[in-house]
Amino acid sequence: MAKKTKLPPEIICLSDDDDEVDHNSKINIKITTPVKEKELLTTNNSNKYEPSNWIIQDKDIIHVSPLPSKYSDIYKKPFEIRCSSVRFGITEFNIDSEIVLMKETEFEMNLSKNFMDNLSIKLAYSDVVKFYFSFESQTPTAFIHVRNEFAVLFDKFIPTSDEHGKGFNPNSKDEKRRHIIFCLKALTPDMERIHIATIFYFLKTKSTKIDVLCISGTRADELYSLARYAKTPTIATPKKTLFTLNTNDLAAKTVGLNNNTIRFDLSSDDLHCLNEGEFLNDNIIDFYLQYIYYEKLSADDRERTHLFNSFFYTRLTQKGNRDNPDISAAERRYNRVKRWVRDVDLFTKNYIIVPVNQNTHWYIVLIQNLNNVPTEGDLISDDEEDTIDDRLKSKKRRRSSRIIRSIGSNSASSSPSPKPSIQLGDELDEADEVTSDNEVPLKQNIEALVSAKKDHSQTPAIIIFDSLRIASKNRVAATLREFLQVEYDHKKALPVGSLARKLFNMDTMPTIEAAVPQQRNYSDCGLYILQYIESYFTHLTSTFTNWCEKNLKGSTKRKEILTVINQHVINKEV
């Protein structure tokens, strides 16, 4: 079967000072504004429309602290801005990989739209007049005002005009058509702080002429309303009443599960986490996961599932004074948690649930069908069934040549090749994890994953449920695979060289990033992971996404957790 050829992106360098053009395997359209035309356009701009409602006052400006010295090299490499979409006036584009690159002289973005695919646009900093951004607004946003020359070139190659005129025109009196808008992805507080400082000082460093401002959430919401709907807020919207626990709710209590054989002592501080805007802590997360396990899972699912508590992954990757320096890194990690699995056979389970907290952000890992991971003998047998010609092309051949090795040794993982851009998730995380093998995670619709569970057609995989998807989880997946391999080698001792040994790596147990509903703020990540697991195991008749959206609306989930806690309070004996 002929292999489909992916069309190369059409690169439109919408800039009049971009002299470098890459001619390798791409269709390049070099656009240069002639000097006379540029002068004419500049002259015409003297009468451009300047609305007063875009003025930023001092009270709207947020001071940006410089980055710590350890990030001093961050401006020397391209930086990734996480964006869900970008708008040029009234036209919205999807962004490949949800990334806009800030490079030495320009923004670079790969876009797609129903009428145009494989489009790469370079926006030179010299064409940018203003760059206002905020992560505090309801929709984190960057507003970009550009020179009219850029819009003229944009309209020439990307037709977006309608009966009212050009779809993108910085001089238009229609506010919806005047700006470029980056719809930024919500971040954890730590990542947000780094991104704000990096974006601000990166642009300040690369171009002194851009008016760069980090603005308040309130002002950003007003500008967003203007830029998207051409509406100026005139009537104050009543403030939403936040869900807050009363004095009785905050009283410390002991709750029990499984006929009170499992108990949690919840302090006032633990319960305070249920107030809207607060992050759920480990005690609340562990209690509710145990509640799901004992009272929501069917008896069959409960028998086939092992639930780790929220400290497992932290302990697995936390260096300690008791670590033995004379054994491999894999064995050191394993020794930290081997007591946790002393009385359980993980390889009889269909599901292993691992809650993870990194950089104050919760996400959850579901390891599925690990008992069906192939053995070395299975892989060799697969290879031998191929013809000699097929072997040279076979993915299985490439796979088995990489994976027949001891994952419990120091050679289990190799250092990744240099990355083309900064990925702050890796820089901030100092956990003792396995360095990943440049794995490219699979992306799968959550409905398909739920359907596979219902049909019992799942393959071995490590599924990441993340409500922000702000950084690669390759190292987490690699570390868990390594743990499983060492645990298997300890529990299922086989003769040296036995082909019956199972192999746990990214080929036999790939990583899947589940396409799940995303949080709309910075504090609800804990709520989302609880709902992900609850929905995955208990609500197969309704669509997963609709169920999550319904139960995570507003403070519904926080109220639900409080209700469950109050229903399981163990009354003190008189």
Whether the per-residue pLDDT at 8 is higher than 60: the answer is no
Beta strands in 23-140 (DSSP E): 27-30, 79-88, 91-102, 106-113, 116-124, 128-134
d(CA 59, CA 55): 11
Q: Is the per-residue pLDDT at 508 higher than 60?
A: yes
Given this structure, which CATH class describes domain 60-227? mainly beta
Please, what CATH class does the domain formed by 248-380+439-568 belong to?
alpha beta
- Res 397 pLDDT > 80: no
pLDDT band at 548 (very low <50, low <70, confident <90, very high): low
SS3 category, 504 = coil
Report how far residue 247's alpha carbon sits from residue 269's, in angstroms, rounded to the nearest whole number.
Answer: 12
Mean pLDDT of 21-26: 40
Give the start-to-end residue ranges of the domains of the chain: 60-227, 248-380+439-568
The 3-state secondary structure of 221-287 reads: HHHHHHHHHCCCCCCCCCCCCCCCCCCCCCCCEEEEECCCCEEEEECHHHHHCCCCCCCCCHHHHHH
pLDDT confidence band for 381 (50 / 70 / 90) = low
Alpha-carbon distance 208 to 220, whole Å?
23
How buried is residue 321: exposed, middle or buried, by Cβ count under 10 Å (0-12/13-18/19+)? exposed
Above 80 in pLDDT, residue 144?
A: yes
Q: Would you please indicate which residues are annotated as catalytic (active-site) residues? A: 361, 466, 525
Q: At CA 391, angle to CA 388 and CA 394, rounded to 5?
A: 155
pLDDT tens digits along 406-427: 333 333 333 333 333 333 333 3
> What is the rounded CA–CA span in Å between residue 273 and residue 153?
52
pLDDT tens by residue, 309-318: 999 999 999 9
Which residues are CB-neighbours of 23 under 8 A, at least 6 positions away?
A: none
Low-confidence winner among 18-32, 194-208, 317-331, 555-569 (lowest mean pLDDT): 18-32
Angle between helices 376-384 and 395-403 (to 10 degrees): 150
Q: What's the pLDDT at 398?
A: 39
Contact 506, 477 (CB under 8 A): yes
Which carries the bigger pLDDT value, residue 446 or residue 214? 214
Across residues 346-367, what is the average pLDDT? Answer: 93
Check pLDDT > 80 for residue 552. Answer: no
